[in-house]
Chain A
Amino acid sequence: RKEVEQDPGPFNVPEGATVAFNCTYSNSASQSFFWYRQDCRKEPKLLMSVYSSGNEDGRFTAQLNRASQYISLLIRDSKLSDSATYLCVVNLGYGGATNKLIFGTGTLLAVQP
């Protein structure tokens, strides 16, 4: 089983649509969780951290279900500028030396005018 698994897409949605991405992770010891976005041939940019209580940042809502080892990202009112690859990322870190990020392969979102 892959460490972090995502549907690669592409998700083609019209402007204004709501779109949801899901992700599962295999290591139950994972400590922290993130969504990054990556534009073509650019670096991953942190979109948001994901907390068990769920968190929202404007049009973006992230949820974490530790029992199911499942992370989600909801984008409301999609904009053309949201077109990118969305990376689900987990950190096994324990606050000490082990802090590597494990990346999913990403889900490609294309927002159409």
Chain B
Amino acid sequence: EPEVTQTPSHQVTQMGQEVILRCVPISNHLYFYWYRQILGQKVEFLVSFYNNEISEKSEIFDDQFSVERPDGSNFTLKIRSTKLEDSAMYFCASSEAGVGEQFFGPGTRLTVL
């Protein structure tokens, strides 16, 4: 069964450093998303991406965040200068259709020290 994959599974970084989280969506999916979940809190939408551009972003997704699809398979989330409050689980998701079911990767746990 096709699945979304993410690397790394755990990333530890110092405050102020840049991190790149990587995702490989399901191959025939056209819509890509990033969500995050702070420990003990609900899953929150960050950004959606379609046709090589951002289609929607949340208030959380400020200028420190960016997304890219550098090739036909990878989808990345970059945090330019990490803050302590960026510590969370980051989930990538993809869907075949816009209102269709979204499938999540296993997540990257980001710890900012």
Contacts and interface: CB of A to CB of B under 8 A. Distances in A.
Given A44-B104, A97-B48, A99-B55, A104 B42 contact: yes
B98 A106 contact: no
B45 interface: yes
A36 B87 CA distance: 23
Size category, B interface: 20 to 34
Interface in B74-104: 89, 91, 93, 95, 97-104
B101 A46 contact: yes
Interface stretch (A62-70, A76-84, A86-94): A86-94
Contact of A99 (B31, B43, B103, B106): B31
A88 B44 CA distance: 13
Contacts, number: 70
A95 interface: yes
A112 to B, nearest CB: 23
Contact of A105 (B33, B35, B42, B98): B42
A59 interface: no
Given A87-B43, A95-B98, A100 B48 contact: yes
Interface of B: 31, 33, 35, 41-45, 48, 50, 55-56, 58, 89, 91, 93, 95, 97-107, 109
28 contacts: A32-B99, A32-B100, A41-B89, A42-B107, A43-B106, A44-B43, A44-B91, A45-B104, A46-B102, A46-B103, A91-B99, A93-B98, A93-B99, A94-B99, A95-B98, A95-B99, A97-B50, A98-B55, A98-B56, A98-B98, A99-B33, A99-B95, A99-B102, A100-B33, A100-B48, A101-B35, A101-B43, A103-B43
